[in-house]
Amino acid sequence: MKALKIIIILVVVLVGGVLLTALFVDNDFSHEESVTVNAPVMEVWNSTNTLKKMDAWSPWTKKDPEIKQTFDGQAGSVGAKNCWDSQHEEVGAGCQTITKVEAPYLLESHLDFTRPYESEGDTYLKLEEVDGGTKVTWGMKSEMAYPMNIMNLFMSAEDAMGASFQEGLNSLKDIAEG
C-alpha cells in the first residue's frame, strides 16, 4: 500500500511539474524559408498567386499522388479555398483559405488542419525584387495551445517544417526559372 501511495505521489508531482512548466513556455510557433529565383517578380507571382498554382510545387502534394482535393471560390482572391484529404501521415487533411492578396508581392492564407491532429495557422508568401531576380519568402505562424506548448522545448519549427519549405521553394524556383 505504501508503494502505491509513493507511485501516485510521483505521478501527481510529475504531471503537475509538466503542467507548471508549460505555463512558462512560449506558445508561438513560426518558421520561414527564402530562396532567390532568377526571374522577374511577375513570373514568380504567376506561379504563386492561386492555391492551384501553389499545388504544383507543394512538397505535401508530391508526398501523396492519391491526395483528394477540392478548389472553391475565385482563384487567387480572398476567400478562395483548397481542401485536401490524404491518408499519408505527413499530409493529413484540412483546408487552406486565402485571407489577403497584395499582387504581386504578398499572398496570405489561413490553414485549418483536421488530421492527423486539429490545429490552425497562418501562412504567407512574400515576393521582393532583388538584383538578379525575386526573393521569395514562405512562412507560417501558429500558436500551440496549453499544455501542448511544452513541445516547443523538445522540437523546433525549423526541424518540423524547414526541409519541406525548402523543398517547395526549390520546386517553385525550378518552375519559375523553367
What is the predicted pLDDT for the residue at 22? Answer: 53
State the CB neighbour count (10 A cutoff) for residue 17.
Answer: 10
> What confidence category does residue 160 fall into, taking pLDDT thresholds of 50, 70 and 90?
low
Tens-digit pLDDT profile for residues 74-85:
999 999 999 999
Full 3-state SS string of the chain: CHHHHHHHHHHHHHHHHHHHHHHCCCCEEEEEEEEEECCCHHHHHCCCCCHHHHHCCCHHHHHCCCCEEEEECCCCCCCCEEEEECCCCCCCEEEEEEEEEECCCEEEEEEEEEECCCEEEEEEEEEEEECCEEEEEEEEEEECCCCHHHHHHCCCHHHHHHHHHHHHHHHHHHHHHC
Task: Give per-residue pLDDT as tens, 83-106.
Answer: 999 999 889 999 999 999 999 999
- Please, what is the Cα angle at 112 between 33 and 73, to 5 degrees? 95
The chain-wide mean pLDDT, for the chain, equals: 86
Domain definitions of the chain by residue range:
2-177
User: With 90 as the cut, is the pLDDT of residue 145 above it?
Assistant: no
Q: Is residue 149 scored above 60 in pLDDT? A: no
Q: Which residues pair with 129 in a beta bridge?
A: 134
Q: What is the pLDDT of residues 18-33, one digit of tens each?
A: 656 556 666 777 789 9
Tell me what pLDDT residue 17 has.
63
Asked if the bond preceding 147 is cis, omega within 30° of 0, the reply is yes
pTM over 0.85: no
pLDDT at 68: 96
What confidence tens digit (pLDDT) does each residue in 40-56 have? 999 999 999 999 999 99
More confident residue, 147 or 174: 174
- For domain 2-177, give its CATH number from 3.90.420.10, 3.30.1490.20, 3.30.530.20, 3.10.290.10: 3.30.530.20
